[in-house]
Amino acid sequence: MIEADHTARSPATRTVILLGDLVNRGPDSALVIDYARDLLASGVGRLIKGNHEELFVLAARGDRQAVRSLMHNGGLATLTSFGLAEEDINRGNYNDLATLLKTRIPRDVVTLLDAGESKIAVGGYLFVHAGIRPGVPLAEQQAADLRWIREDFLASRAAHGAMIVHGHTIEKTANEYDNRIGIDTGAYKTGVLTAIGLEGAERWFLSTG
């Protein structure tokens, strides 16, 4: 849909920004990462590191607490997508699983996800995974807030110095506010994946549902 939309418009340089949560959101995480890798290699794509990428990277490097959080946030489907057997995943304790992930999750995948950007500024827009900390200058935002914040950001009506485009918080449809645009429509459970197109002052949405 993005390719067709781009082709139908006047010639322009195209950038596709992935807002994160490529993993722990359904049974095909490994395939999604393969797609993202190809997109980044083409020079068209850029990847923002979401909170689920952060958990996955830590877990794949043997962090026991991250492994525990991973398994409480869709980790089983993610790990089986990499070819791990469910019985091996469920055998032993979190320390055992941490050791298993260090040997079975490809290191190039860990490197790719860990290299995701925290924020991307283009024109008057700032792309992040979760949001920003209201009242903190954009240049001083902390990665933890950019990947994890929710209510303090969603409730704010303050101007942020840029229009914030984000995912992380699922809504039935993409929503535009005076200071932010949320485009997470919960594809892993709704089947509806939403993108926003931006060119100059123009905005439009593409959706699979």
| Confidence band of 209 (pLDDT split at 50, 70, 90) | confident
Question: Which pLDDT score, from 0 to 100, does residue 25 have?
Answer: 80
Across residues 55-62, what is the average pLDDT? 97
Q: Say if residue 113's pLDDT is above 90.
A: yes
Q: Say if residue 66's pLDDT is above 90.
A: yes
How confident is the model over 163-174, as pLDDT tens digits? 999 999 999 999
Across residues 118-145, what is the average pLDDT? 97
| Global pTM value | 0.95
What is the residue type of 141? Q
Question: Which pLDDT score, from 0 to 100, does residue 26 have?
Answer: 84
How confident is the model over 125-134, as pLDDT tens digits? 999 999 999 9
Question: Which pLDDT score, from 0 to 100, does residue 106 have?
Answer: 97
CA distance 9 to 170: 29
Domain ranges of the chain: 10-117, 118-209
How confident is the model over 174-202, as pLDDT tens digits? 999 999 999 999 998 899 999 999 999 99
Across residues 17-22, what is the average pLDDT? 97
| Surface-to-core class of residue 154, CB atoms within 10 Å of its CB (0-12 exposed, 13-18 middle, 19+ buried) | middle
CA distance 176 to 11: 26
| Confidence band of 63 (pLDDT split at 50, 70, 90) | very high
Q: Please give the mean pLDDT across all residues of the chain.
A: 96
The CATH number, out of the four listed (3.40.50.970, 3.40.47.10, 3.60.21.10, 3.40.1360.10), of the domain defined by the range 118-209: 3.60.21.10
| Confidence band of 12 (pLDDT split at 50, 70, 90) | very high
Q: Say if residue 60's pLDDT is above 90.
A: yes
CA distance 55 to 70: 6
